[in-house]
Amino acid sequence: MRLRRVEHVSAEECRSVDGLMRAYARAGVLGAGALGEACNILEEMVRERARVFLGIAGCIVAGGMRRVVTELIRMGAVGAVVTNGASVVHDVVEALGGEHYAGSFCAADAELHERGIGRMGNVYTKMESFTAFEDYMQGLLAGMSEQQRSNLSVRELLSEIGASLKDRHSFLRAAHEKGVPVFSPAITDSMVGLQLFFFSQNNTLVLNAVKDMREMAQLVIEAERVGALFLGGGVPKHYILGACLLRGGIDYGIQITLDREDAGSLSGAKLEEGVSWGKTARHARVVSVTGDVTMVLPLLVASLRERMKEWREGTG
């Protein structure tokens, strides 16, 4: 066994976000080492033109990460997005002029309910924002032809939403403009699903999830290399890894999570576990970063932006 000396982090060399991330990677130990390795893997998968699947779980869009996600898409670093329904809802709410607010984990929830405020941890939102969301969704669906609604994939629905939004900071709009498909396999487990149900009571509406699977399979099979950046776990993580069974697993993988593997949960499982299922290739370069996505993601994206600038300037 060959031992590698720990290179200690110096404040002098950490004059930029990427400088700090490179120092973390050189140290190579504990949580800092994992984060530094994640930056290196993200750079490699983008530089090697792997098709990068971005998995979005939790309430990170409402929790201040919306612009960072949008920026990552606009940078050309993402080939497809798989998101939970909540992130779709909160992206649209913001695009329609709604807002999210900083609150407290120690809240008087009954009082919040009386004031028409919903809580996600220490992130608050006004229930009145969903009135505009409901009107928007009903209008969007009504504006689609009956033929289109009779065999509508989730990806097609989200593309329609992205095309209709005017807010440049919307990740759905950015994905539409960049030609990046957005999937949401559990979309009905959200306010979107509720609006789809309401609309379907008096109108033709058939949501065809198999069409999404067909498109996901094509994206995976046609890719020379596949990478994945998992912001949390849940359904988005499993949907991406499940599709990658068709090609022998992902070639690159980064997971940011606070969940633990002890309980056998998918969200806490290390990406190496996927090798046993064929969801992670044996040769894959993967890392799991134990941390809060809202703390880690901006560092990853800022580091990648600096490196991409160096590529363009020929200095990196």
Q: What is the pLDDT of residues 97-131, one digit of tens each?
A: 999 988 899 989 999 999 999 999 998 999 999 99
pLDDT over threshold 70, residue 227: yes
Assign 49 a pLDDT band (cuts: 50, 70, 90): very high
With beta carbons less than 8 A apart as the criterion, state whether 240 and 228 touch: yes
Give SS3 for 152. Answer: strand
| Integer Cα distance of 239 and 253 in angstroms | 14
- pLDDT at site 278: 93
Average pLDDT over every residue of 259-278: 87
What is the average per-residue pLDDT within 154-178?
A: 97
For the chain, the average pLDDT equals: 92
pLDDT of residue 248: 93
Q: What is the mean predicted confidence (pLDDT) over 203-222?
A: 95
| Residue 281 clears pLDDT 70, i.e. is over it | yes
Asked if residue 307 has pLDDT above 80, the reply is: yes
Percent of the chain at pLDDT above 90? 75
For the domain spanning 50-96+130-298, the CATH number is 3.40.910.10
β-bridge mates for residue 227, sequence order = 52, 252
The two three-digit tokens of residue 40, written as one number: 């290196």
Beta bridge partners of 81: 54, 182
Percent of the chain with pLDDT over 70: 99
d(CA 288, CA 170): 28
Residues tagged active-site: 279
Question: Using 50, 70 and 90 to split pLDDT, how confident is the model at 316?
Answer: low
With 80 as the cut, is the pLDDT of residue 14 above it? no
d(CA 314, CA 126): 48
- In the chain, where are the structural domains located? 50-96+130-298
Token couple for 229: 């950046």
